[in-house]
Amino acid sequence: MNEVDPSDFRAALSSWAAGVTVVTTRHDGLVYGITASSFSSLSVDPLLVLVCIANSNHLARMIQESKLFAISILAEGQEQISSYFAVHGREPSPAFDEQIDAHEWHTGAPIIRGGIAHLDCTLEQAVPGGDHTIMVGRVVGAAADPSGKPLLYFRRGYRKLNLE
């Protein structure tokens, strides 16, 4: 069987339209977050979600040590927030950039304000998955804004949902 070229793999996956999420945590007085597209619901009983995080990213270690994280599902118009969290090479810090408005809920993980939904989670399990770790979170808080529209990502660009 022929080996798949990683660029072909990425091009194929870019054809999957997805909502944009920011995954955040707080640990030892520092906050950190990333933009993530590899997010999914997992179970209703118990309430579980999963997100896949590169092992090389600070977030993978921080979630495993803090045992908590939040997932903010971004709204249309939050492209700048998504781009901020997509920058590689950032370091964990005491607070996010002043352009990022966040609050805490049950776990203390930062939740991005203005999103269409958010999930506050405790770490249920961390499962190795190649060069990523699959973080399984037990949802301890969930909220949604039914009036908001999602920020979408498709073929390497932000898109809007047309409901008409």
pLDDT digits (tens, 9 = 90+) for 31-77: 999 999 889 999 999 999 999 999 999 999 999 999 999 999 999 99
The residue with tokens 């269409």 is 116
Q: What is the pTM of this model?
A: 0.91
What is the pLDDT at residue 164? 63
Name which of 88, 90, 53, 85 is nearest 72 in CA terms.
85
In this prediction, residues 140-160 reach a mean pLDDT of 90
With a pLDDT cut of 70, the percent of the chain lying above it is 96
Q: Is 20 left (phi over 0), alpha (psi -120 to 50) or beta?
A: beta
What is the pLDDT at residue 158? 85
In this prediction, residues 19-38 reach a mean pLDDT of 95
What is the pLDDT at residue 120? 98
In this prediction, residues 128-153 reach a mean pLDDT of 95
In this prediction, residues 104-130 reach a mean pLDDT of 97
pLDDT tops 70 at residue 129: yes
Tell me the two tokens of residue 84. 């901020």
Domains of the chain and any CATH numbers: 20-159 (2.30.110.10)
What average pLDDT does the structure give for the chain?
92
pLDDT tops 70 at residue 7: yes
In this prediction, residues 8-21 reach a mean pLDDT of 79
In this prediction, residues 130-146 reach a mean pLDDT of 97
pLDDT tops 80 at residue 140: yes
Q: Which residues contact 152 (CB under 8 A, 6 or more apart)?
A: 17, 18, 19, 20, 158, 159, 160, 161
What is the pLDDT at residue 15? 65
